[in-house]
Amino acid sequence: MSPKRIIIDTDPGIDDALAFLFALASPEIKFEALTTTQGNVTLEKATRNALSVLELAKASHIPVVQGSMFPLVQPLRASADVHGASGLGNSKLPEPHSKPVAQHAVDFLIEKILAEPNKISIFPIGPLTNIAMAIRKEPKFAKAVRELVIMGGAIQDGGNVTPQAEFNIYVDPHAAHIVFHSGIPITLIPLDVTQKCLLRQEHIDRLLKINSPISRFIRDAVNVYLKVSYERGFEGSALHDPLTLATIIAPELLTLKEYYVDVDISGGISMGNTFADIYNITKKPPNMKVGMNVRSDDFVELFTQRMEKLSRSITD
Ligand code: RIB
Ligand code: CA
């Protein structure tokens, strides 16, 4: 089967960077471009980090296109509390030599998707601002996107940025509302499954047996994430963003359910809450497939094996 063509829309971010590496290590995927947004860090840092990680992985041929500096309505949130001041934990990647494409990500997405309708899937793994702006700017965009595979939301799990809201949705809930009601085929990968897929110290120790800038980057980037994860009672750091790629690489590991899902934009205490009509009370048709279970040990093993393969291919 020919590799699936994807664009990743991202706010790198430690687990975002792991998702780039996972895509690069996976022949099932043709990683066509990377569009950036604010979220874990500011847009400037997100773009720099994207360029630096691709350079580390010898993948600077992949275009990086800068997008939204602010959410649609909410104030900018980008905070250093989880991903560190740089956004990539304690890793010290050199300033990138490559530059972003001289076009706004929203225009890039519209141009690329309309040029080849229903051929390219977009993987938003940060706030959905760029995607919402493309939907609003170009009415033909929604019908031309093959699929969105979104890391975001929490259905039966609690939130990770407020007790009711997951970070990507909370940062720009209005964008999520536009995207969820756009009619684009959506697969949502929420905290319910991503928080079961934990990269633990034993996996990092395994990678460090390989003398590679990739394995050392993963150690330096993830150790900040690990500390926050332990403080929250987890035994490892959640592979939130990389899990979206399991929909291509190993779909058998995910249990997807079709639900009508909406997001609270009423501005109160549950702002950004994502809820599924599990018992079809509203009688509204499902608007997405939702990851509700995962063979987590198998996924983490698959991820680790692909990181070992990538580390062996990029040595000092
Ligand atoms: O809630 C997890 C999500 O928020 C991940 O995409 C992480 O990178 C942050 O953006
Ligand atoms: Ca992210």
pLDDT for res 37? 98
Q: Give the three-class secondary structure for 172.
A: coil
Q: How far is CA 193 from CA 149, 155, 227, 242, 279, in A?
A: 14, 10, 20, 12, 20
pLDDT for res 235? 95
- Residue 242 Cβ contacting ligand 1 at under 6 Å: no
Domains in the chain and their CATH numbers?
4-313 (3.90.245.10)
pLDDT for res 26? 98
The DSSP call for residue 208 is T
Average pLDDT score over the chain: 96
Distance 43 CA to ligand 1 centre (A): 15
pLDDT for res 153? 98
pLDDT for res 1? 82
Residue 85 has pLDDT above 90, yes or no: no
- Residue 243 Cβ contacting ligand 1 at under 6 Å: no
The pLDDT tens digits for 266-288 are 999 999 999 999 999 999 999 99
Q: Which atom of ligand 1 is nearest to the CA of 238?
A: 2
Decide if 188 contacts 290 (C-beta within 8 A): yes
Mutate to test the pocket of ligand 1, among 9, 77, 151, 157 (most ligand atoms within 8 A of CB): 151
pLDDT for res 17? 98
The pLDDT tens digits for 174-229 are 999 999 999 999 999 999 999 999 999 999 999 999 999 999 999 999 998 898 89
Q: Which atom of ligand 1 is nearest to the CA of 13?
A: 8
The pLDDT tens digits for 145-164 are 999 999 999 999 999 999 99
Query: What is the greatest pairwise CA distance in the chain?
Result: 58
- Residue 195 Cβ contacting ligand 1 at under 6 Å: no
In the structure encoding, which two tokens stand for residue 311, read together?
């580390």
Q: Quick one: pLDDT band at residue 316, thresholds 50, 70, 90?
A: confident
Residue 79 has pLDDT above 80, yes or no: no
pLDDT for res 224? 85
- Residue 192 Cβ contacting ligand 1 at under 6 Å: no
Nearest CA to ligand 1 atom 1: 167
